[in-house]
Amino acid sequence: MNIIDKVVCFIRKVWSKQDIKTIEAPKQVKYKEPENVLDKYVKVTLPTTPESKKKKVETLTFSGDGLGIQKDIHY
Amino acid sequence: MLKNPAFIEKHELTKFDLQDIVSSLEDESKREVLKDKALLMDKLHFKNFDIRRLIKELPGEEAKLEISELYQLSSYDLADVVSTFCYESKLQMIKQEPSFNKNDKIKILSSFTGKELSDFLVENKEIYKENNIFPYEIVKELNSKEQKDFVTQLDELDLEIKEKRKIIIGLRDDVKQSTDTTNFSKELKTAMSMPTKNGMIIDLDLNRDLEDYRGLDEIIRINPEQFTKEQKNKFMQLCDICPNMLVMSALKRGGSVELCSTANEYKEAEEWISSVINNLNPDYSKAQKMAVIDHAIGKKISYSPDFDTEVFNSWDCRALYKIISSGYGVCNGIASVERCMFERAGIECEMIGSENHSFLKVKNIELPLANGETIKGNTIVDPTWNLGRHRFDARPDNFCISYEQARKNDIDNEGKDHKCHKNDEYLQDTTLNLDEQSLRGLFASVGLAHEDGNFPAVDLLEKSEEIHETYANNLNEDIKQQFLLLAQTCPEFATCQNSTMMILGKLLSHKNLDFNKCVTERVFEKQDERKSPVLYVYIDSDKIGKKFFVADKNEGQFVELSQEKFEERFDCYQKDLELTNGVKPWETKEQDKKEINLATTSGTEVDMEGRE
């Protein structure tokens, strides 16, 4: 089979209706969540601690020499 | 009337009217009214100086003291009241009142008549000597009439000739003009001819014999900033003749605030400034000279490590010559050092202030670009923010930057704008910004960066990285080697605390050092009366526990101490503790070591629980 035949075969396969499977509609679930769960979930998932940052050496901050304000030392 | 607010309101009596009413009362009534402190202070809103004036009008020293005590007058106000006492009572108060300082005592002594003062100086030498009071300090406060009386008796007083000369120099101009100097000695005649202002010599006649100034140290206040080279040379000689004179420098050019340095501090500073300026290659462009000077300042000066503490001296760290001599200063002092040096190198500049910082605007400067072009205009150099960079030969991020760039540099890692360079009015025309490549080229051209454009800090930072890699499994050794590297690179690191804090932030923030917490700050030794700042590093790590390292100024190295020993020897400044509600840095909770996304994990758990 040459390359053209292969391409034609592939396109047919893709577009052929026989190859398409229908997805069944979901069955209705009778499960009901307790009323307070959603609230509880929302409350807890709200971040309660500051986002972790890259650890930095803590030092003083001075407007005078820029300590604690200036970016890293570079060469 | 005084106790009737409706009457006072109806007649619209002012505080001055009410004072006049009290003042016009008969002695006994006045005393009774003054005893009613609640009435005068709370209802009539008299101030202490109003009360002081009324107390002085009372008859009898006992009554004056009684009322003064009732109002708990300051020592200054009390001295003013005592100035109305008789000679003997004044003497007694000077001897016995513990709250009086030197100035209070001078205030009382200068209320003597000329005759009384000359008697006092003969009979009570021990009093003024014990209190470190010089006779000239009292005489110059006398009014013209009393000065004239005093001078007629000067010849007979048993005082050293240098003291008499200081008295003559401190006389008021009208007294000098009316004084007959025919019988004066040559020294006193010379003193009489010296121009003064408020009793002080502020203009030197460098053409006269400098020996004329010997012994007059305490009354000389000279600002040599505008002296020519020849005048400076002469002034240096005068520093040897009058080693205790004060040398002044202006906080701001043309401003009225002047700050004091000693003669020795001036000499040391002047020699250093001259050595930097004289060593500038005459072929250098102005930009190259600026690079050399900015770098030299970074190597010489460190930001005052006691800034914002209870022991900080806001005058000393702004006095031009004291900063250079001590090696410590704050922004406007350091900017004034650079302004002084730039001007000597012929570079036009101006000190600019924001609400919390000072730096320089350099005007009409030509800057060479890496592409061979030259740009000309105004730019910013911030010597104080470059100190830490230059100390460790790193890239100065605040050298020849535009206003726009300076404002970007004001924003910290957390996005907060500290507004250190904000001054729209003076800096809107400051647009020249030396790009990174051109900056590297400029510093390389004067030997302060490698030929490839890297700054020498590359060696330090690469060695630091090597150490981190070599001792990846031995934190103790890694830290020890980092500190050794620091000491080798900058032997004076323990004394330039703020610059060192800056580089430690880099050396100790490596990923291998998996600290819970790392702090580089300042404390003071409890036994040190001056509370001089000491740099320390505190580390909290799961692997090596809590560690305290103190920068030993004598040894020039970090010394490890146990927490117990550290807390026994050192303490935090009160002002630092006020910022943290009294909690010391090593007492705060550890940072979370693991970066756990609490939102996801706890949320999942609750979701699961709900389904159950």
* B509 and A CB contact within 8 Å: yes
Predicted local confidence at residue B593, as pLDDT: 38
pLDDT at B371 over 70: yes
* B519 and A CB contact within 8 Å: yes
pLDDT at B589 over 50: yes
Question: Which of B345, B336, B332 is CA-nearest to residue B287?
Answer: B345
Chain centroid to CA B331: 10
Instruction: Please report residues of B whose CB lies closer than 8 A to that of A50.
Output: none
Instruction: Please report residues of B whose CB lies closer than 8 A to that of A68.
Output: 412
B20, B148, B403, B472 from B513: Cα distances, Å: 75, 77, 37, 8
CB count in 10 Å sphere of residue A40 = 15
A63/B303 Cβ within 8 A: no
Structure tokens at B46: 């008299």
* Pick from B454, B518, B603: CB nearest A45: B603
pLDDT at B272 over 60: yes
Radius of gyration of chain B (CA): 32
B503/A73 Cβ within 8 A: yes
* B20 and A CB contact within 8 Å: no
In sequence order, what are the residues at sequence separation of 6 or more whose Cβ sits closer than 8 angstroms to the Cβ of residue B394? A73, A74, A75, B388, B455, B457, B503
B585/A65 Cβ within 8 A: no
In sequence order, what are the residues at sequence separation of 6 or more whose Cβ sits closer than 8 angstroms to the Cβ of residue B172? B144, B147
| Cα–Cα dist B71/B172, whole Å | 36
What digits encode the pLDDT tens for the residues B19-76?
999 999 999 999 999 999 999 999 899 998 899 999 999 999 999 999 999 999 999 9
| CA angle centred on B450, ends B444 and B455, rounded to 5° | 90
Chain centroid to CA B563: 33
Nearest CA in chain A to B301: A65
Q: How many residues does chain A have?
A: 75
| Cα–Cα dist B591/B516, whole Å | 6
pLDDT at A26 over 70: no
Predicted local confidence at residue B207, as pLDDT: 85
Q: Which residue has the tokens 């009217």?
A: B17
Task: List residues in chain A touching B: CB distance below 8 A.
Answer: 33-34, 37, 40-41, 44-49, 52, 55-75
Report the complex ipTM.
Answer: 0.70
CB B454 within 8 Å of CB A75: yes
Sign of CA dihedral B82, B85, B89, B90: positive
pLDDT at B601 over 50: no
Q: How confident is the model at residue A23 (pLDDT cuts 50, 70, 90)?
A: low
Instruction: Please report residues of B whose CB lies closer than 8 A to that of A70.
Output: 385, 388, 397, 409, 502
DSSP letter for B220, please. B
Strand B570-571, strand B221-222: pairing: unpaired
Nearest CA in chain A to B422: A63
Strand B302-303, strand B328-329: pairing: parallel
- Work out the minimum CA distance from A6 to partner chain B, whole angstroms: 48
* Pick from B410, B521, B606: CB nearest A60: B521
Within the 282-311 window of chain B, which residues sit less than 8 Å (CB to CB) from chain A? 303-304, 307-308
Predicted local confidence at residue B590, as pLDDT: 52
What digits encode the pLDDT tens for the residues B335-370?
999 999 999 999 999 999 999 999 999 999 999 999
* % chain B with pLDDT above 90: 80
CB B191 within 8 Å of CB B136: no
Predicted local confidence at residue B324, as pLDDT: 97
What digits encode the pLDDT tens for the residues B169-198?
999 999 999 998 888 888 899 999 888 888
Amino acid at B225: E
Lowest mean pLDDT among A22-26, B16-20, B101-105, B515-519: A22-26
| Cα–Cα dist B51/B5, whole Å | 20
| Cα–Cα dist B103/B110, whole Å | 10
Lowest mean pLDDT among A56-70, B292-306, B402-416, B492-506: A56-70
pLDDT at B597 over 70: no
* Pick from B387, B595, B610: CB nearest A34: B610
What digits encode the pLDDT tens for the residues B117-131?
999 999 988 989 999
- Work out the minimum CA distance from A61 to partner chain B, whole angstroms: 10
Which is more confident, B63 or A10? B63
DSSP secondary structure letters along B527-539: T-TT--EEEEEEE
* B397 and A CB contact within 8 Å: yes
Structure tokens at B63: 């009554």
